[in-house]
Structure 1
Amino acid sequence: MEKEIQSSIATGFLNKKHKSNKAYQPHLIVNDRSQANTMLHHIDRALQECDEFIFVVAFITESGLAMIKAQLHDLAQKGVRGRLITSTYLYFNQPKMFRELLKLKNVEVKITNLKGFHTKGYIFKKSEHYTLIVGSSNLTAFAFKENYEWNIKFTSHNQGEIVYHFVEQFDDLWEEGVVLTDEWIKEYAVQYAKYQSDHPIVEQVFEPTLNAAQQLTQITPNAMQEVAMQSLQQIRERGEKRAMVISATGTGKTYLSAFDVRQFRPDRFLFIAHREQILRKAMEDYKKVLGGQEDDYGLYTGTEKSPEAKYLFATIQTISRPTHLENFQPSTFDYILIDEVHRAGADTYKRLIDYFTPKFLLGMTATPERTDGINVFELFDYNIAYEIRLQDALEQNMLAPFCYFGVVDYEKDGLTIDDTSTLQDLVSASRVDYILEKINYYGYQGDQLRGLMFCSRVDEANELSQLLNQKGLRTVALSGSHAQEERDEAVAQLEQGLLDYILTVDIFNEGIDIPKLNQIVMLRQTESSIVFIQQLGRGLRKAPNKEYVTVIDFIGNYKNNYLIPIALSGDTSQNKDNIRKKLQDTHFLVGVSAINFEKIAKERIFQSIATTNLTGIATIREAYENLKNKIGRMPLLYDFIHYHSLDPIVLVDEHDNKNKHGMNNYYDVLVKMKESVPSLSEYQQSILTMVSKELLSGKRMHEIILLKTLIDSGPILEETYRAKLKELGYFVDTETIQSVERILDLSFFVKTDRQKYGNQPIVEKNDREYHLAPLFQKELQANEFFSRLIHDVLRTATARSVRYDKTKRLTLYEKYSRKDVCRLLNWDVDEKGTMYGYRLKHGTCPVFVTYHKDEDVAASQQYNDAFVDEQRLHWYSKSNRTLKSKEIQGLLKMHENDEEAHIFVKKDDGEGSHFYYLGPADVDLETVAEKKMMDDKGKELPVVTFDFELEHAVAPQLYDYLTHDL
């Protein structure tokens, strides 16, 4: 350790070219999310690794504390404790924040009265060393993720003088500090209130009492609404009469529609919704935007009817009745808007749409996808004027931030709540106490709790509500059996602070507006990503003094747990690797929203991802139909990328061991989807299979570029081809060019693959000139549909290739199969069948490590490969190898012979046949040793072991994922 720290100091302070372990090098933290270089990243990482921690920070906010509560919970489970010193400087810290600190059972807190205390330091102790982060960041959400900050992170041996001074200063402060207690907080609250009254904050009043005309000039569209309005106008200018807007809950859809109505200037306007409460709120918003006289606006509901109003707001249940439709001429309204238009498949909506003939019909929804066969997109002629989903809305600051906590559900005698749990288990006294403990620990922002609990069953909601009331909470349970008036009354009571929680089963997924909601509790399994986002969206409406909403998701042993990262990230690719990445690194959200999982809860989700078939025929068919409905035609592969649907690779590649649907190319997919398409010959299918299986991933663009050039422009000289690659920024060398040739003439592949791919070249080379093989050229010309599918693969591969580094053969942290590695390292032939753990050939040595072996793996293959740290892998050779073995001597002389080892690691066999690429590595010759291991019969076998030193330290989230046993 001492040697590595010395080396890292030399890199950081003497010579940046000096080679050292990057895990210990000094590091500047500036909150660059694109480079995973935020304070939250580094604090998370340091907390995970430490044996003890010390925080010395002047200012702390509830939202900043919330970002690390799950990590502190996990540390408490491990027995790791910490100490924290903060202050009352400028009365920045709120009394409620201090109460939140008292909830941290493994953190001792003291208050310093030191005048002008403005310190920001974080110290983490582990065995022989300390990690220190010191700079400008207080413990706040903005300082941890968004603000431009300067913080230096460095490592010191525990005998180092600098860390001695830091700890000594802390100990002095600690000795003089005041212990945080309930009594202290009560006294501080009085002082805090007095300070606030003596130093009032001038708040901007956004909507003073203005008349309608004044309001008309004050309210203007935001950036999203401006773009959407332009798009709507362009659609109308094309002569279209219908369009849709897809916009996340809380992003101002109603105001957007009002702005567009103002832009359109209709003589008569009709607004349709399914609830009178929505209509009344929409009508008030329209008045602010459109102005005019009070009697210009009217309702058309079961209880109130103003059919002559210029701007009419009607419930679908009332106006769609034939007796009411007859009160209007079909051309009465120039502009009709349907809210929550995903409901438009119902007969009531169809009747209304078929009856009226407006100049323009607009539909608005947050979730247009349907599972009942209704194509909402078709109703609006496939004109999507604007689409903004959750991630976009958060990025544009349209929604309140959220702090999500995935917590493990109640467990008793080794059994956890799951979809087979009885009512007795769901509402047992011990589970109720557990729920209360969790919701109290993770808390809520603000002074008054206003919560919404989603339960799995009606009887659970009813019983749980009674039990919570007995515990002193004020709750009510609502279900579909309750009248609308009862629901509205409960919402009003929650908004007014007369209720703490509403418990419900699905009825509040949509169409309900509770801006002051500050906590959402999910006590049910995730049924779909759409429902998850609908329920999350209940809390994302902005409100005065609302900084964020707390979301507490109780994660049991549910098969659908894999849907949680899909919903939170919006990633619908069904690619397990993509989903794992989102779960490994939860810092992908823009702004100060945060995602946190307790360790066991995260493990359950990883297990769900590993055991679930994400690309079964039913899933593919649903995604295919949704995309087809959206674009109004048969999708091509490229459409799946363009419209952010399935990752095309999962359709044709056995990337996941469970993907056994037997579709080798997109023609197979179309046939399976029962599309009426022109038939392809056996040869055409074999070529399509080859380019799909081998090139669609986009891992190397060289073949794609050559094929596309030959198809579009005809023969090309090798020199011209090389120049084109260089011009496009791709690496070029003779070995790679020869590898490309072996792929396209099929000589690289094993016999079974060659037969599957047509058994003859698709590209030939004569006198340094490339041209398409005659039969391939002939088939492209003879069958337009075949040509179209080939072009589609090449276009899709190009789009997918952006994730790979064009200047290198292999991209750090992407996943590769053994066949991929043989190809990309320019081996002559595919040797995946005999490669196994490693092989030194052609100046390269790929090393494949399955980190967690299955229990049934033979003892002679149970190598104890293990990371020493993020940059060092302790590795074992195959058994029956000694220091004198030829292959071992080759490995030990790689650096001397200018040969390169490449390390590939996967967590376990549940990840399929692909490995994460961790980069090149050198053998540390000082660690080479010959050892003994036992075979299945107890016989000792020789084995050689040494450390690989990686060129790049493994990214923290990936390192944790690979090394932690699930």
Structure 2
Amino acid sequence: MEQQQLIRKIENSLYKGFIDQNKTVSAQFKPKLLTNKHHETVLSTILQELKTCKTFIFSVAFITEGGLATLKTMLYDLKQKGITGRILTSTFLNFNQPKMFKELLKLDNVEVRVTSEKGFHSKGYIFEHQDYYSLIVGSSNLTDSALKANYEWNVFLTSLESGEIINHFKNQFEDAWDEAIPLMEEWIANYKQYYELQPFVKYATSNTLELNTEYLTNAFAESLAIQPNKMQTAALEQLNALRATGAKKGLIISATGTGKTYLSAFDVRSFSPKKMLFIVHREQILKKAMQDYRKILGGHEDDFGILSGTSKDVHAKYLFATIQTISRDGYFRQFAKDQFDYVLIDEVHKAGAESYLKIINYFTPNFLLGMTATPERTDRFNIYELFDYNIAYEIRLQAALEEEMLCPFHYFGVLDYEKNGLTIDDTTELRKLVSSERVKHIIEKINYYGYSGDRIRGLMFCSSKEEVHELSTTLNHEGLKTIGLTGDNSQNEREEAIHKLNSGELEYILTVDIFNEGIDIPFLNQIVMLRQTQSSIIFIQQLGRGLRKHDSKDYVTIIDFIGNYKNNYLIPIALSGDQTMNKDNVRRKTVNTDYIQGVSTINFEEIAKKKIFDAINNTNLSTLKTLRDAYTELKNRLGRIPFLIDFIKQNSIDPEVIVGYADNYYNFILKMKESIPSLTEYELSVLGMFSKEFLNGKRVHEILLIETLLSDESISRESFVQRLKEFGTYADDATIHSVENMFSLKFHVQNDVKKYKFKPVIEIVDGHYQFNKEIQESLRDSNFKGYIEDIVKCAYVKNEKYDKTKAMTLFEKYSRRDACRLLNWPHDDSSTIYGYRAKHNTCPIFVTYHKKDEVETSQAYGDEFLAPELFRWFTRNRLTLDSIEVKNILTYKEAGMKIHLFTKKDDGEGTDFYYLGQADIADGSAKNEKMPDGKGNHLSVVTMNLVLEQPVHYDIYHYLVEE
């Protein structure tokens, strides 16, 4: 960036920050307060600065393993680019644990020193960029809580190298650095001896004091009564409310690790049955469930009994049975049908099996409770119908993390082993999966990303039984202590392996087809995924193995080895819980992972992230099977044919995806083989038009008019304008004419006019808007009207993410056609825009940032970002500064023309572009240049620098510019 321009921007930003907050300046250099509120965390800012820095220095008194974990992926990527940094820390108050110092030594590109400065309590982060420095200083230590969750105060400032403040901080750092001790293994060993001698008080990762449990007597610990957590309390209230309606069945949907067993025990205690039956699918968890119940219910030991292959305590008041045993005719028929007042079924998503149905249809309890983390079924069996559609309570992964009911996790998406440009994929042979090179790669990654706790207790998910055994053998040869377990191993062998994992005799259990669910290993502190993601359900089940809280860990590390798998797109879907199958949503959930709650983080190595983008681009997310499965799941849950708005409310498929597949929802329902009242050909064309044009909610004006005319026969132009103003949106004449052109069909190209049957949908009669006569007649049919109302409801919800005060919202996505409509062009000229077009006092510019390799050289323009708010743009070739087309653009201010910039990463993103806002042409930046035509000649072209009204968000910016 030009030095004088940079100086002006920093001067302006300081003016805004310290003199006048109303001054309009570049957001890139604006001073700000970082508090971890409103989606801008200290962590996200540090990651943004690291991504663009030349080097960095941290001066922080306190560091935790979790805090380091949040930066490890970024530091690894910086290492690949040759970027180094320094960290200065301390032993102040014995906060920093010896193991954390060992983690620091793993950072090859970071030099670490430890100061002995008395009372060292600094918290500062300095980043050196190409032309300037940035600084974060305030209250945040390098802990995961301080970086992401705690309410903190940190000031973010920008300075030139000659600035006094930045030099003061740097000089202070250098003075302390020169006197500090380089971090080495020997120092850590000595510190560990000293650290372990310190009695009574240790610091927790949440930066709060906790008593060392060795000072708590057993009697005191046991006297602490088990109380329902927040989720359990709410669920118990809803269960009681459900039974108060006379319901005899209820379904609990609760993420793994949120305490479903305790919840059911609390409810049984409240219900006070004379006899209870608890059914599970594996004997391994029977004893644990019974122990938990005893803690809650109390009573005599003989009140509790097990019915399984090895135990037959059929007379127990509280009977815990495996489905395999009790479903045998010789067992369940020895009980009277009404013998149990209360029956519970764990992992009830399996209840479609004949064994479960046999039991459910036989017993007639006063209440039947089903519990599951994943009610979704692939065999279309309706679990919800089985429980009379009574969902007593539901809490999924995101909500459970937000409520701090689960152990936090740090997920790392890493690139699987790559050789000669080839990465592990669906067809990779076993010998390559267990080759010494891949094994060394695996060990390198699991060591680098580490674990929380005193020793590793890991679980690895492999792709086949053969890989389980071969890989276990190879890892053992490399010095690890592992065992391979599959469905061929007995229950006793599994329990013995889990015991050895906890005691330290084993470090890892490798598996393929077991441990996905129905097993409780709360001390797991590392989950390793060495297989492609087959489904988001299985992904969450496997990740969930480590999410139970345990005293031995502060978080769980998830390491996902990402190869060239076609299903990689499922990873962001699973982590975010976003089931819309909208490609843009999935990309955003890969780029920006702020949706994950609490101190948990999601991190992708850059190359691994590219594999996910490739999978998104190359996969059809809206296949008939995908849509049918989502439809069936939602219909099963609701007990009726869903409306489009139901898909939004239930976080299912995006309605735009559905109508994109079938033109309108009526057609889609027919494809689902439903019997529904028929619509006329014209009614279908109206549904198609409203679905295509207005369902996306990108402009609220048309939605408001449709909604009004659904209840009122007509509305005057003046009253409609007033309604728009009351809604809080703009209502200028040009926009009103644009809305009228949409409904009169004047805006549309001939093919669309033909598709919409050549009839204006809304007419203007005596200054009043009204539907045409045919639509008015059709609306007398509540069925047709219901489809229109459904579209309106969806459009309103979708419109919520858009700025109602402006035609287009920064960083949302729009097509060329959207731009024509929203910029109030009278006609759809999108087919003639190509890269740009100056028309109607606007000039929308559309840039595909990464052109395809096969694009002709003469079309391979070098458009590029020079900075997040500065874009170097190429006109069409064969133009010069003297060309009329170029002169029209360069005189945009005098002509009152506004320039709008849109860009997308590549053609894999389809027809939509990110809107980067209005742009000005930097003074004096327009130049005549030459570009090759691929035939040995050069073509004239004009380049100029576009200055954006706001810098592009760093996550979108880096997504766009990186290969």
Counterpart for residue 758 of structure 2 = 759
Deviations 1:933-964 (A, max 9, x none): 33344443332221111111100000000011
Distance 1:496 1:8 in 2: 58
Match of 1:848 among 846, 849, 853: 846
Deviations 1:58-116 (A, max 9, x none): 11100000110111111111111111111111111110001011111111111111111
Distance 2:546 2:444 in 1: 21
Residue range with higher mean Cα deviation, 368-377 or 18-27: 18-27
Which residue identity is paired with 1:837?
A: G
Contact 2:919/2:947 (<8 A) preserved = yes
Residue range with higher mean Cα deviation, 440-449 or 954-963: 440-449
Counterpart for residue 206 of structure 2 = none
Distance 1:20 1:322 in 2: 78
Which residue identity is paired with 1:910?
A: G
Counterpart for residue 723 of structure 2 = 724
Counterpart for residue 34 of structure 2 = 29
Counterpart for residue 658 of structure 1 = none
Residue range with higher mean Cα deviation, 512-521 or 852-861: 852-861
Residue range with higher mean Cα deviation, 726-735 or 594-603: 726-735
Deviations 1:865-907 (A, max 9, x none): 1111011111111122222333322222222333321111101
Instruction: Summarize the Cα distance change of 1:721–1:680 in structure 2 as closer, same or farther, 3 Å threshold.
Output: same
Q: Does 1:713 align with 2:712?
A: yes
Q: Does 1:878 align with 2:876?
A: yes
Q: Does 1:413 align with 2:412?
A: no
Counterpart for residue 611 of structure 1 = 618
Residue range with higher mean Cα deviation, 601-610 or 629-638: 629-638
Report the count of equivalent residues. Answer: 951
Counterpart for residue 55 of structure 1 = 58
Counterpart for residue 657 of structure 1 = none
Contact 1:9/1:25 (<8 A) preserved = no
Instruction: Indicate the SS of the match to 1:98.
Output: helix
Distance 1:9 1:88 in 2: 39
Counterpart for residue 951 of structure 1 = 949
Counterpart for residue 202 of structure 1 = 211
Q: Does 1:160 align with 2:169?
A: no
Counterpart for residue 9 of structure 1 = 11
Residue range with higher mean Cα deviation, 887-896 or 666-675: 887-896
Q: Does 1:134 align with 2:132?
A: no
**Offset of 1:649 from its aligned partner?**
0.4
Contact 1:11/1:17 (<8 A) preserved = no
Q: Does 1:486 align with 2:493?
A: yes
Contact 1:859/1:934 (<8 A) preserved = yes
Which residue identity is paired with 2:496?
A: E
Counterpart for residue 898 of structure 2 = 900
Deviations 1:34-65 (A, max 9, x none): 3x321111111111111211111111100000
Contact 1:7/1:19 (<8 A) preserved = no
Residue range with higher mean Cα deviation, 152-161 or 336-345: 152-161
Match of 1:786 among 776, 779, 784: 784
Deviations 1:558-609 (A, max 9, x none): 1111111111111111001001111111222111001111111111111111
Contact 1:5/1:156 (<8 A) preserved = no
Contact 2:714/2:770 (<8 A) preserved = yes
Match of 1:805 among 795, 803, 806: 803
Q: Does 1:860 align with 2:867?
A: no
Distance 1:556 1:446 in 2: 29
Instruction: Indicate the SS of the match to 1:195.
Output: coil
Counterpart for residue 656 of structure 1 = none
Instruction: Indicate the SS of the match to 2:882.
Output: coil
Instruction: Summarize the Cα distance change of 1:165–1:211 in structure 2 as closer, same or farther, 3 Å threshold.
Output: closer
Q: Tell me the percent identity.
A: 54
The correspondence of residues 436-515 of structure 1 with structure 2, limited to 5 A, is 436-515=443-522
Distance 1:946 1:882 in 2: 12
Counterpart for residue 674 of structure 2 = 675
Distance 2:301 2:439 in 1: 51
Distance 1:865 1:22 in 2: 23
Distance 2:404 2:789 in 1: 40
- CA RMSD, 1 decimal: 1.8
Instruction: Indicate the SS of the match to 1:403.
Output: strand
Counterpart for residue 169 of structure 1 = 172
Counterpart for residue 226 of structure 2 = 219
Distance 1:282 1:806 in 2: 53
Instruction: Summarize the Cα distance change of 1:94–1:906 in structure 2 as closer, same or farther, 3 Å threshold.
Output: same
Distance 1:715 1:817 in 2: 32
Contact 2:449/2:557 (<8 A) preserved = yes
Distance 2:720 2:102 in 1: 68
Match of 2:387 among 367, 371, 380: 380
**Offset of 1:199 from its aligned partner?**
7.5
Counterpart for residue 319 of structure 2 = 312
Instruction: Summarize the Cα distance change of 1:787–1:197 in structure 2 as closer, same or farther, 3 Å threshold.
Output: closer
**Offset of 1:207 from its aligned partner?**
10
Which residue identity is paired with 1:312?
A: L
**Offset of 1:208 from its aligned partner?**
5.5
Distance 2:133 2:379 in 1: 58
Which residue identity is paired with 1:147?
A: N
Unaligned runs of 5+ in 2: 204-209
Which residue identity is paired with 1:729?
A: G
Distance 1:447 1:546 in 2: 8
Q: Does 1:109 align with 2:108?
A: no
Instruction: Indicate the SS of the match to 2:800.
Output: helix
Contact 1:5/1:155 (<8 A) preserved = no
Instruction: Summarize the Cα distance change of 1:206–1:373 in structure 2 as closer, same or farther, 3 Å threshold.
Output: farther
Contact 1:8/1:20 (<8 A) preserved = no
Instruction: Indicate the SS of the match to 1:28.
Output: strand
Contact 1:5/1:24 (<8 A) preserved = no
Contact 1:925/1:946 (<8 A) preserved = no
Contact 1:478/1:487 (<8 A) preserved = yes
Distance 1:708 1:736 in 2: 18
Q: Does 1:337 align with 2:354?
A: no
Q: Normalising by structure 1, report the TM-score.
A: 0.96
Distance 1:732 1:260 in 2: 56
Contact 2:79/2:108 (<8 A) preserved = yes
Instruction: Indicate the SS of the match to 1:508.
Output: coil
The correspondence of residues 900-939 of structure 1 with structure 2, limited to 5 A, is 900-939=898-937
The correspondence of residues 393-792 of structure 1 with structure 2, limited to 5 A, is 393-653=400-660, 661=661, 663-781=662-780, 783-792=781-790
Distance 2:947 2:515 in 1: 54
Contact 1:80/1:106 (<8 A) preserved = yes
Match of 1:75 among 62, 75, 78: 78
Residue range with higher mean Cα deviation, 392-401 or 742-751: 742-751
Residue range with higher mean Cα deviation, 888-897 or 526-535: 888-897
Distance 2:7 2:453 in 1: 44
Which residue identity is paired with 1:140?
A: T
Deviations 1:474-519 (A, max 9, x none): 1110000001111111112212222100000030100111111100
Contact 2:308/2:322 (<8 A) preserved = yes
Contact 2:10/2:159 (<8 A) preserved = no
Instruction: Indicate the SS of the match to 1:23.
Output: coil
Distance 1:759 1:945 in 2: 44
**Offset of 1:19 from its aligned partner?**
4.3
Q: Does 1:98 align with 2:101?
A: yes
The correspondence of residues 249-268 of structure 1 with structure 2, limited to 5 A, is 249-268=256-275
- Runs of 4+ residues over 6 Å off in structure 1: 204-207
Instruction: Summarize the Cα distance change of 1:169–1:513 in structure 2 as closer, same or farther, 3 Å threshold.
Output: same
Q: Does 1:299 align with 2:306?
A: yes
Distance 1:768 1:21 in 2: 45
**Offset of 1:472 from its aligned partner?**
2.0
Which residue identity is paired with 1:423?
A: L
Instruction: Summarize the Cα distance change of 1:30–1:853 in structure 2 as closer, same or farther, 3 Å threshold.
Output: same
Q: Normalising by structure 2, report the TM-score.
A: 0.96
Instruction: Summarize the Cα distance change of 1:879–1:17 in structure 2 as closer, same or farther, 3 Å threshold.
Output: farther
Contact 2:200/2:211 (<8 A) preserved = no
Distance 2:747 2:34 in 1: 46
Counterpart for residue 207 of structure 2 = none
Instruction: Summarize the Cα distance change of 1:198–1:779 in structure 2 as closer, same or farther, 3 Å threshold.
Output: closer
Distance 1:780 1:238 in 2: 37
